[in-house]
A = this chain, B = another copy of it.
Amino acid sequence: MLIVQKFGGTSVGDLERIESVAKRISKTVAKGHKVIAVVSAMSGETNKLVGYAEHFSDNPVREEMDMLLSSGERVSASLLSIALNEMGLKATSMTGRRAGIVTDSFHTKARIENIDPTSMQNAIDSGNIVVVAGFQGVSEDGLVTTLGRGGSDLSAVAIAGALKADLCEIYTDVDGIYTTDPRIEPDAKKIDKISYDEMLELASLGAKVLQTRSVEMAKKLNVNLVTRSSFSDAEGTLITKEEDIMEQALVSGIALDKNQARVSMRGVKDRPGIASDIFNALAKSNINVDMIIQTVGHDGETNLGFTVPKTEMSDAQAIVQTFIDNNEVQEAEYDSDICKVSVVGVGMKSHTGVAAKAFSTMADENINIMMISTSEIKVSMIIQEKYAELAVRSLHGVYELDK
């Protein structure tokens, strides 16, 4: 098999850990696999360099930031290659440029446009382990670029896609994706396999492990993604196509998002386009609206509610106030003490009653549901924040995720 193995900053955090990474790669090679390793900078290095730049400027030239920051991955990539060669393995390191990773020109947050895998393929074909400096590429005009937060994961997934690798393993300090946050529910179980779409809905459960961008790219490129720990040999979680998961669980996991706040507008003026005006105004201010609910009361009064991240609440409040000042909204209530609990599972597509069971579980626990939003594979509920853990634990038990 051709396996892409990505090691984050913690996994290559010091020389001993780089040594461990080299040993892990050598084990994979010993099993007969071909390996492309993608590495981040040693942990702390990128922050150190950012600090240097900020000494000179609050807003350093982005092209220069990329020149600066891309040096961190050169160091970890070359050191890992040196360690592998010292073990008697054939290894060669490559910058993003040499690996053929072409991006757009949005320096410090570039997007990968395409990958020319020729150099990597040639190196692999001549028996090399290829060590690629993650997080970086090169723009059409030949300047080095970086991919922003989580960039090394994107490098790994894109490389796996370009080379049609059998597997893309993302090594972190967590051993996989769990049915829910184990700090809330100690009986949470590690998930063996999960579909891309479920993973995207469970983003909050994998937030520390995988960025949404990486999962989306893996889905698009059909890359089998595994997240696992670089500190143990435990199998991780495979994120793959829905069709490739034989036994679909009814529910895969329970996600909790505490970073939610709710705006409830009462007496919204009954004119065409009023909702569009409100949400366009919010979008223009870069406010991320999540759930939206509109109700019409028996007196003909229209109510409109929506949720935003807690940090964007005051911005949203200012915009809603302009509609109140214009007499287009009668009044509004703001509530930050809420959270979103989501039940996620592709099994819902073919089984009825999953949502009903969620609602009755809330009723049994005397938890009031303020808003509901559903998709084919998800039921999300807004409830009071103080019930967050209770709701998660109850749902986790009801769907037998601890079994």
Q: Which residues of A contact B (CB under 8 A)?
A: 15, 18-19, 49, 52-53, 55-57, 60-61, 63-65, 67-68, 70-72, 74-75, 77-79, 81-83, 85-86, 92-93, 95, 98, 142-143
Contact = CB atoms under 8 A, between A and B. Distances in A.
A78 B57 contact: no
B52 A64 contact: no
Contacts of A68: 74-75, 78-79, 82
Nearest to A83: B56
A86 B67 contact: no
A77 B70 CA distance: 13
B75 A61 contact: no
Given A64-B81, A71-B75, A92-B63, A19 B56 contact: yes
A56 B86 contact: yes
Given A15-B56, A56-B82, A64-B81, 11 more contacts: A15-B52, A53-B82, A56-B83, A56-B86, A57-B83, A65-B78, A67-B81, A67-B95, A70-B74, A71-B71, A71-B72
B82 A60 contact: yes
A19 B86 CA distance: 40
25 contacts: A15-B52, A15-B56, A49-B75, A52-B79, A53-B78, A56-B82, A57-B82, A57-B83, A57-B86, A60-B82, A61-B82, A61-B85, A64-B78, A64-B79, A64-B81, A64-B82, A64-B93, A65-B82, A67-B95, A68-B75, A68-B82, A70-B74, A71-B75, A98-B142, A98-B143
Given A64-B78, A78-B65, A92-B63, A57 B70 contact: no
A74 B98 CA distance: 17
Most chain B C-beta atoms within 10 Å of own C-beta, residue among A15, A56, A72: A56
A144 to B, nearest CB: 8
B71 A53 contact: no
A67 B77 contact: yes
B67 A78 contact: yes
A128 to B, nearest CB: 12
Contacts of A53: 78-79, 82
Nearest to A15: B55
A150 to B, nearest CB: 22
